[in-house]
Amino acid sequence: MGLLSWPLLRHGTSADVWAVIGLLIAPLTWVAGSIWMARRRPGLTIQAASGWQQLFGGLGFLAVIALTGEPRPTPTTEAWLAWAYLTVFGSIVAFTSYVRVAAPAADAGG
């Protein structure tokens, strides 16, 4: 990651540094959450656990937006359609499928 980002970081802005830090933190928190979910199973259905994870992920993004003073976007129709597609297929379908498939594997390993 550092090797790929070095040219940008060398001539970039502090925002680039924060973006790279975010890219490094994201998989670490994913792993930590996956390990925690495997070892400390909540008393929720798979769909409910997936929904809570997505809700808190969204709230985390809102907190980052508020803390960094990100300007309000003005998306186009194409952007709204892309967002809707990613919400349905990327979040609801794909993430819930991942959680559903990972749950039996976690049960078998514990």
Higher pLDDT: 89 or 13? It is: 89
Q: Which conformational region is residue 60 in: left (phi greater than 0), alpha (psi within -120 to 50 degrees), or beta?
A: alpha
Residues 49, 28 share a domain: no
Residues 51, 30 share a domain: no
Q: Exposed, middle or buried: residue 95 (CB in 10 Å: 0-12, 13-18, 19+)?
A: middle
Residues 109, 93 share a domain: yes
Residues 103, 78 share a domain: yes
- Cβ-Cβ contacts under 8 Å for 9 (sequence gap 6 or more): 16, 17, 20
Residues 58, 4 share a domain: no
Total structural domains within the chain:
2
**Alpha-carbon gap, residue 105 to 75, rounded angstroms:** 40
Residues 28, 72 share a domain: no
Residues 101, 56 share a domain: yes
Section 31-50 average pLDDT = 78
Section 58-65 average pLDDT = 89
What is the band of 104 on the pLDDT scale with cuts at 50, 70, 90?
A: low
**Alpha-carbon gap, residue 12 to 6, rounded angstroms:** 9
The CB density around residue 57, as the number of other CB atoms within 10 Å, is: 14
What is the band of 76 on the pLDDT scale with cuts at 50, 70, 90?
A: very high
pLDDT at 107: 52
Residues 100, 52 share a domain: yes
Residue 49's domain spans which residues? Answer: 44-110
Residues 90, 53 share a domain: yes
Residues 77, 58 share a domain: yes
- Tell me the percentage of the chain whose pLDDT exceeds 90: 15
pLDDT at 82: 95
Residues 48, 35 share a domain: no
Count of helices and strands (H, E) across the chain: 5, 0
Indicate the range of 15-24, 40-49, 61-70 predicted with least confidence: 40-49
Residues 48, 33 share a domain: no
| CA angle at 34 for the pair 31 and 40, rounded to the nearest 5° | 135
Mean pLDDT, the chain, rounded, equals: 81
pLDDT at 110: 46
pTM of the model: 0.56
